[in-house]
Structures are given as structure tokens and as C-alpha cells.
Structure 1
């Protein structure tokens, strides 16, 4: 009898230990490893709330530490709070002599996007290397003693526990359960939001949906120059439809101008390259490489197009943040439509395909004789930076998810709010970048030539406010979830909102609202906006 009781007590102790290892609890639970996730977590701690970050990513910071170092600032004066502190800490890092390993600071120059790269007067730096950004995010986590569960993926089928319209806990595929009072979805995909049953949209609204001039299909708009300026045949044998289409050209019609569709902006990796031999890894022929996939690029180059290097934007230490430029470039147009709702395995395949496309593109430009010799020779001098992304084979750990799901929230940001045509009375942050959509499709015109569509670049007249109602759901859908990244936005408005500084701003504001909802014991939809505004201003947000 005693032995049986002892056995039972041992079993109970074991079960208690296992439960403790797989169950955790915090006031605020954040899902995601993006820049918004980190700023939200820091703000939660500053407001004396316990917080746990459940991150599917191993590396924190999303695109800000994943290659996008040439920051899309817009008007820097509207960037405040923890976002500005992040760029101040970047500045501080570059004051340390050891940070300038491959280049003297005086030799770097000061080219930025919308602002000088290094703003000495404001003690901020807007252009940086990936590993420096990641260090700043990790410093935040260490300094504020933030608990982060890395490589923990939400169980999207059975991982949400709800009581009425409140989330009570989330569970990961490894079996870890995290309970909380408030939840923040800070992913680029909106997986927590979707799994919680909050409605969302994917693709482009029609012009008529929100009375937006730049919404939907825009087959006659070419604003950034990322289109075919010189006619190029879409067919394998020029002018012969029976020969079939060249790779990466859709066989579907583009659709009617102004109509909505399910297409989304193209993705790419923002590449950190260097031309410094001591730090350069030459481009290698990737497994699965097929030069015929780049036949369309060969034809573009044959027309005399020579802008291959126009978006090799300089970042410190002889490196670049390489972005898309021109009719055929880093963007893998039309190859991501199923990504937002795809399973983890399917997303992994899409990311692998994007990797092969861009690695193959680099190898093609550096080695293939179809490429004009001056371009080929210049490209061969570039390579991956050996001191970046060491844990992922010197390749960025984050694909640029320019757009995935977008919540259908309590309020919706549209082109009209961004362009100042409609007021926003409950701001929790500001944006200032252009209405910026990358191409969404590549199609065949009636004359048999190829064209890209979806590239929009409309300047905004003045910085705009971002509504609190756009980062929370309708109360009937969920009263304790905030969504600062996949917020409630139309496609064309999201083209401006979707910038990394804005995500950091909205992450901080989301955590502030969460803390006040806890303190007041109210739903997020019922807290006092005036009280929220007062705290945001106290914390130096720009509203």
C-alpha cells in the first residue's frame, strides 16, 4: 500500500513538472518575432506588465534585422517613442570604433532615404547592417529581461482557447501553452488573428469598395518604372504564341481596371551584398539552377536596359541593401498568391522557391554569357557578406512579406485617410511614406508583349494619422487581441503603412492599450482613448 502511494506521489510530481514546463502565463502574450513584437514587449515591461513573446522566429527583428537596412523613413519627424529609440541605439552602436570594421565612417557617405543616413543632431541613424540591428533588438530583450520562446509555432488548427469573445490561451506545435489577459499578433502573416476567428482580407479591393482612386487592378499605371518600357515578346519563340510563354509570365488575363482581385505584392529577400574581397562570398550555382528561367531577363538586357545596379543601396562597411528595380529583378512576381493562408510546409516551399529564384538570378547575372559583359563583370565582383546571417548560410533569415492577411477591424485605414481626405480622430501613430505597392502580376498584352502590373507610387501631401480602431477587431470578434502589423487596412493604404518604423510605433501603442485594458478591466474597444493618448504622448509617440 505504501509503495503504491509513493508511486502515485512520484507520478503526480512528474506530471506537475511537465505541466510547469509546457504552461506559462503573462499579462500580455505577444506572438511573433518582428520589430513590432520587440517594441510591444519593451513597452509592456515599462508599464509594469508581465509579458511573454512566443516567436516562430529564432532571430528577432523581422525585416529590420533581416536585410532591410536602408530604412523607409518617409518623414522622420513623425517617428517617435521606442521606434526612435531603436534608431538612436543604432546610432550609438556606430559610435563604437569596432563597428566600422571594413570602412572608415568618413568614407561611408550619408545617403539615406528621406533623411540623411546618420543624423548627428538628432543622434539617430537610419541606415545600418543587419547584425547591428539584431544586436539592438537582443539588447532590448536582455535589458528588460523579456521572456522569449523561440522557434515556437502556433498550432493554427487547435491552438486557440477562447471564452466567448476573449482569447484565454494559445498553444504551439511543440505543446507549449501560454495563458494571458491580452494578446498581440505581431506576425507579418496574421496567424494568431486568423486562428482566433477574426475576419480578414487578402488581395486588392476594387475602386468602388472604399472610393479609392488607386485601388484594384491598374493596367495603365507605371509610376516607379518597374515595367517593360521597351516591348518584349512574351513567347519562347518571339511573336509565336504556339511556342508557349517564357517563365514567370501568367497565362491569365490581367482583369478589368479598378476591379478587385486576390493578388498581392511580390516578395523578395533584401540582400546584404559586398564588393570587398576580404568579406565577400562569391555567388555559387544553386542546386536546381536552370538558366532558361531567366530568358525574359536576357531579352530585357538585349534591349539595352542597364539598370541592374540601381537599387544596390549603400549601408555601412562596404555593403548594400539590395532591393527590386526594373521590369525583371529581385521581386518574384506572382509566385506568392497562396502564401498568406498556406500551411507552414507550403510556406516553407514558397520561401525555398524564392531563395532559388534570387540565388539563381545572382548567379545568372554574374556568369551567363547572355548577360552583357560590363554587367557580368561588375556583378562578379559582388558576393554575400561573410559576416552577415552566419546562422543561415549568409542568406537573410526573413523573406520580405510585403503583404499577407489584413484584418477586417473596428475601423479601416484607406487611401482617403492616408491622403488626408478623411479625418482620423483616434491616432496611435503616424505614417508618412508614399502609397507604395510593388507589382502583383506579369501578363501578356493583346499584342503579345509582356507587361507588369500593380506597381504604384503616389506621393502623400503630408504625414497622416493611424487610427486606434484599425489595430483592434470588432468587439464581437475578439475583445482582447491587438494586431499592429496585419492591421485593418486596404491594399493601397497598406502600401504606405507597411513600413518597419510604423510597425515599431504600432507595436508600442498596442502594448499601451493592452496595459490600460488590463488596468481598467475593460475590453480593448471600451478603454478611454483620451487616457491612451495621454500615455502615448508621455512616452514620446508622435500623434
Structure 2
């Protein structure tokens, strides 16, 4: 879709343009310098009369639209790669469905079937894990408003990254099959922005910018025959998974009455509870099955859906509080209720590959894999709470190992400089029922953000990166602590893998030889680590001849078989991390052997990340020594990988 037209007036009138409104009349008039001619501003401080000029043109390498967890990961990955990046978010807070406005738990893969929990080691690493660990450091009280600010700090401090809140990308300016610019509207500052960029990444979920660019997309459910998906409906239809709102309650220590609002809808509990999935097992947090879908246009009907969700929610809570069937709710009061629906599905944009149910269930290997998933296939009742005669969820089809997500599903098939990540990726409806989980979406985000930097580096578009530079993309992701199933690291620039010999303190488990085997985690019972007997401990890398070194990296332990998300219901915290993982290395020093003499070249204190990157002025050394001093609580240190670079 082209930028909507402006019309010229005759000489002596406006001199330039007014926007055409829906009825064809001029909605807003501008003069030739871009000021609104209808604005009669008298600025008392200066004594001047005039018109505000609130139109700006901005230039970036990469523009990321939407700052949910996938958008944050994309923007941070691009910025860390050294390209000038902007992150545009239409809300006042970051996090999308995970923000304080919606409070959806940042779930991930956790839950593979047929694998002992201690052997799964499946949790997502990379940028999403950095954020989760940092949250426990700054926000041990599990406050969602504080979580918003943890995300804000994480994004704001990144070099090369500009954040624009309360700004909506509304329209694409096209140049052939490329997006030339995004027209954005700042809601709080009344400013229209024209954002030029070489590469665009739509992580907004609904994908308005991508849609106005003319990117091909689908809504609704594919029929069973199109991709031979056994869980798809027999014939295609328009249903998408529904929106929901969440709630949190507070124990007041005394009986608290509840009076429902006038618009509340009665809850037919007798019909609803015939389905085991709709049972009310706790009264502390929201019920995912209070869900409203749509069989045509869930975006256009969003306000109607929002009102219905609130009405149904209050009907359910009225039943919980006032039926007498839940005495445990007597002292409970509503402490927070969402006003913005959390969205599961709307547009799905088409890439060079559409990821399907069978791709996932058959664990198909993709040479261009850049992310993974493993949450069960989870097909919800399309009618949600408006269809109580059918189950809330038809099935959970679990996985016994991780499945791969190819890069070809993360860029547009017909818009040459457009990528996407999250629930709007190139997926069938059934595949989406698994890949929509927030941490899985964040892995997609880190992949496309990293890929966008390669697009800038080589002056190429995503499809070309996928065909000509996919190995470089995968190597960078693995180096940045993204796990890619069935893809071992083989970075030719890594000085440890290319000529270095690794030695260490006595091992409690594992071996130093495993630190260069290309796998940065234990998985499925296979060891890929070295663990010290005690602390302090030492790792040393030796070369036959001096090598130039300026960076040392290692991947430490964060117990990846444990969950790490913040929950609305503290009862769900049992058995998971609620602090910085005690296994994580907290402090270390790096020494280098130069001309036969050891000297300290760098130190790390209060480390909060699994992938520890230490940089220092370039030196020529025959060996480096990592002195691991202390972890965040465990008396031993576990390491999965050591690297060195010039």
C-alpha cells in the first residue's frame, strides 16, 4: 500500500496539502513548511504567535516495530552488532503481552515429554535469559511495574539503540518491493515521524506496517489437506486463537464482599465445568480460558472483544466470590485486572517457508535453523468462553525434543527488506499454537536482529543472507549464546578452537576437552562441560606461538533445566530460580602470559550473564588464564565453552 496521497490546493489558499479523510474532505491542513494552518498558538513566554512544527524525518540502519520480547531481542541484537537501530513501541511500557499492562508469563520450551527433568536443559538463553536474570537481580519483589522499568533500563542503556515509546507505525512508504520509510504517529507528543531505514523488522504482533507494505499474510485456520496437518480443521475457516485478560488477587485477611459491575455476564458454570480444562484450581491469578476469539477480523473487532472479555471475567469472578463453592476466595479481593487484552494470534506473514505441524512433530532439520521451540501444540476452542459446549483446549501434543525454526520463516516472501518475529511469523495456525510462546518468539527476535546487521554489513536483503551467509548468521547467534539444535559451533575466528589447548583445575565432572566441542550446554543427558572441584578455580588456554588477543568469552552455568520466569502466583515459584542463579559465575580475572610473564589484563565483578565477554587492549600472548573466584552461591564453577578473539 502506498503512502496515502496529499492534495494540492489552488494558489493563494493553503499552498500545500491537507490529509484526505475517510469522507474525502481535508482532515488536517498543512502549509508548505509542514505546520498546521489551523493551529492558533500564542506562546506567552516568547510572545510569539505561530504554528507548531511537529513532523520529523529520522534516519536509521534498522527499524524494529513493536517492543514485546521479540522486538526487544531484535533491536538489542541489531544494536549490539554495531548498526544504528530504532525500536518503536505503541505503548508507554515495553514487553507487549509480558508487560505490566497484560502480565502474561514469559514461558518457554520447558516441558519436553519422556525426558527426565534434570536432563532436559532446554531453557532459552541469549538476550531473553539476560533479561530474566537481570529481573531477579533488580526486582526480587516480583513487581510487574518494576519489571517494566527493568526492561526499560535494559533497552535504554544499549549503545546504537534509540527507543520511541507511545509511537505507532501506521503506514509504509514503498519503493518498488522495498520499504523506504515507516510513517509513525507519536500519541503523547502529537508528532508525525518519517523513519527511513535500510531494513525493517515487524515484531508488533498484528503487523500493521508489514500489512500496509503489501506483505502477504494469512488469518484464520488452514484446512487439513493443504499441509496434511492432522490437527487442522477439515476445511479452512476464519477462526484465530482468542484474546484474554488476566487478574491478580490479594488476601485481605478478612472477608471481602464483591459487587460485579452492571455489564458483567452470568457464568454458566454447570456447562463450563464439564470440561476439565475450565476447572478453577486457584483464586490467585487469571484464568487463561476466559478467552474470546473471532472468526473474521480480530484486529478490527478488538474493542468489542475487550469489552466481552471484561464482562465474562467479572461474571466468572462473581461466581467464584458469591456462589459459596469457593470458601478459599472469601478473603480474596481483586488487586489488579487487565484492561488491554493479551493477544494470541492475528496476522501471520508469509515467508519463503511456512512452518507447519509436521515440520515440528517430525523434528525436521533445516540447514537455515536459527531458533527452536518445544511448547506443546495447543489448539484452543476457537469460540473461547462463548463456546462452553466444547473443550477450552482440544489437545496438548507434546514434544520429546526441541524442534527447529528456519530463517526462511522469518522474512517476507514479497517485500525484500522486511523481517518479522513472534506470532506474526510464517506459520500455519497449528504450528503457531506452539511457537507463539514468548521466549520462543524472543529467540526469533534475536535471530532477525542479528541478521539485519548482516544485511547492513553486506548491503544485501534477508533472502540473500539466508542463501549466502547463513553459516555466519548461525555462528554469530551461537557465539551470542543462542542454542541451535543440531548445529555445533565451528567459528574459524575462535583462537581457542584453532590452535589452543585447554587445561583446568581438577574436575568434579566433565572435562576441559568438552569446552571446545561446539555445544554450549549439556542436553539430553550428554555432558558438554567442565566443573571444578572447588573455588577458586582456574582454566588456562595455551598456544605454541604467540597470538593476538583482545577478547575472551566463556559460557557459564545457569541451571537450564530450571524455570526462571516471574509469576503472578508465587505458588508457581516452587522448584525454579527466584534469584540470580547461584551456579552463575560472579567474579573472575583474566591473566595473559606475555614474554613469559603473567599479567592481569581484565577482571569481572558482579556478573549477571551466562555468556561472559571480557574485552581488553590487544596483546600478544602465549597463554591466557581465567581465575574464577566466586559464583552467586554455589561452591563449584561449571563452564561450557571458552573462546578467544583478536
TM-score (normalizing by structure 2): 0.60
Residue 152 of structure 2 is matched in structure 1 by 138
C-alpha contact (below 8 Å) 1:33/1:62 kept by paired residues: yes
Q: How many Å separate the matches in 1 of 2:149 and 2:396?
A: 33
Mapping of residues 107-126 of structure 1, within 5 Å: none
Q: How many Å separate the matches in 1 of 2:384 and 2:56?
A: 47
Q: How many Å separate the matches in 2 of 1:192 and 1:306?
A: 37
Instruction: Say if 1:355 and 1:165 are closer, same or farther in 2 by CA, change over 3 A.
Output: same
Deviation at 1:347, TM superposition (A): 2.1
Structure 1 residue 310 corresponds to structure 2 residue 276: no
Residue 49 of structure 1 is matched in structure 2 by 83
Q: How many Å separate the matches in 2 of 1:165 and 1:12?
A: 30
Structure 1 residue 162 corresponds to structure 2 residue 174: yes
Structure 1 residue 374 corresponds to structure 2 residue 306: no
Give CA deviations for 1:499-522 in whole Å, capped at 9, x if unaligned: 110111111111111110011001
Deviation at 1:276, TM superposition (A): 4.8
Where in structure 2 are there 5+ consecutive unaligned residues?
A: 1-30, 36-50, 112-120, 187-191, 485-646
Q: How many Å separate the matches in 2 of 1:277 and 1:204?
A: 47
Deviation at 1:409, TM superposition (A): 1.1
Deviation at 1:207, TM superposition (A): 1.7
Where in structure 1 are there 5+ consecutive unaligned residues?
A: 1-10, 101-127, 217-257, 313-319, 386-393
TM-score (normalizing by structure 1): 0.70
Q: How many Å separate the matches in 2 of 1:444 and 1:511?
A: 39
Which of the numbers 365, 373, 383 marks the counterpart of 1:423?
A: 365
C-alpha contact (below 8 Å) 2:108/2:123 kept by paired residues: no
C-alpha contact (below 8 Å) 2:355/2:428 kept by paired residues: yes
Instruction: Indicate the SS of the match to 2:195.
Output: strand
Give CA deviations for 1:228-257 in whole Å, capped at 9, x if unaligned: xxxxxxxxxxxxxxxxxxxxxxxxxxxxxx
Residue 537 of structure 1 is matched in structure 2 by 478
Deviation at 1:191, TM superposition (A): 1.7
Residue 138 of structure 2 is matched in structure 1 by 93
C-alpha contact (below 8 Å) 2:291/2:384 kept by paired residues: no
Instruction: Say if 1:531 and 1:395 are closer, same or farther in 2 by CA, change over 3 A.
Output: same
Q: How many Å separate the matches in 2 of 1:214 and 1:304?
A: 19
Instruction: Indicate the SS of the match to 1:516.
Output: helix
Q: How many Å separate the matches in 1 of 2:126 and 2:103?
A: 23
C-alpha contact (below 8 Å) 2:237/2:295 kept by paired residues: no
Residue 253 of structure 1 is matched in structure 2 by none
Deviation at 1:89, TM superposition (A): 1.3
Q: How many Å separate the matches in 1 of 2:222 and 2:384?
A: 19
Q: How many Å separate the matches in 1 of 2:256 and 2:149?
A: 23
Give CA deviations for 1:278-319 in whole Å, capped at 9, x if unaligned: 9x997552242343xx2x225556x7989743265xxxxxxx
C-alpha contact (below 8 Å) 2:223/2:235 kept by paired residues: yes
Which of the numbers 461, 469, 477 marks the counterpart of 1:523?
A: 461
Instruction: Indicate the SS of the match to 1:36.
Output: helix
Give CA deviations for 1:163-219 in whole Å, capped at 9, x if unaligned: 111101111245322111111111121222211111111111122111112122xxx
Deviation at 1:83, TM superposition (A): 1.2
C-alpha contact (below 8 Å) 2:364/2:404 kept by paired residues: no
Q: How many Å separate the matches in 1 of 2:426 and 2:369?
A: 14
Residue 92 of structure 2 is matched in structure 1 by 58
Q: How many Å separate the matches in 2 of 1:305 and 1:211?
A: 29
Q: How many Å separate the matches in 2 of 1:442 and 1:20?
A: 43
The alignment's C-alpha RMSD in Å is: 3.1
Give CA deviations for 1:368-389 in whole Å, capped at 9, x if unaligned: xxx3x132x333433333xxxx
Instruction: Indicate the SS of the match to 1:266.
Output: strand
Range moving further from structure 2, 133-142 or 41-50:
133-142
Instruction: Indicate the SS of the match to 2:460.
Output: coil
Q: How many residues align?
A: 419
Mapping of residues 151-300 of structure 1, within 5 Å: 151-155=166-170, 159-173=171-185, 175-216=192-233, 258-277=234-253, 284-291=259-266, 294=267, 296-300=268-272
Instruction: Say if 1:140 and 1:351 are closer, same or farther in 2 by CA, change over 3 A.
Output: same
Residue 105 of structure 2 is matched in structure 1 by 69
Instruction: Indicate the SS of the match to 1:272.
Output: strand
More helix by share: 1
Deviation at 1:540, TM superposition (A): 0.7
Q: How many Å separate the matches in 2 of 1:33 and 1:80?
A: 19
Instruction: Say if 1:283 and 1:418 are closer, same or farther in 2 by CA, change over 3 A.
Output: farther
Q: Which has the larger radius of gyration?
A: 2
More strand by share: 2
Q: How many Å separate the matches in 1 of 2:98 and 2:311?
A: 22
Q: How many Å separate the matches in 2 of 1:45 and 1:439?
A: 40
Residue 347 of structure 1 is matched in structure 2 by 302
Deviation at 1:472, TM superposition (A): 0.5
C-alpha contact (below 8 Å) 2:377/2:430 kept by paired residues: yes
Which of the numbers 389, 407, 415 marks the counterpart of 1:468?
A: 407
Instruction: Indicate the SS of the match to 1:265.
Output: strand
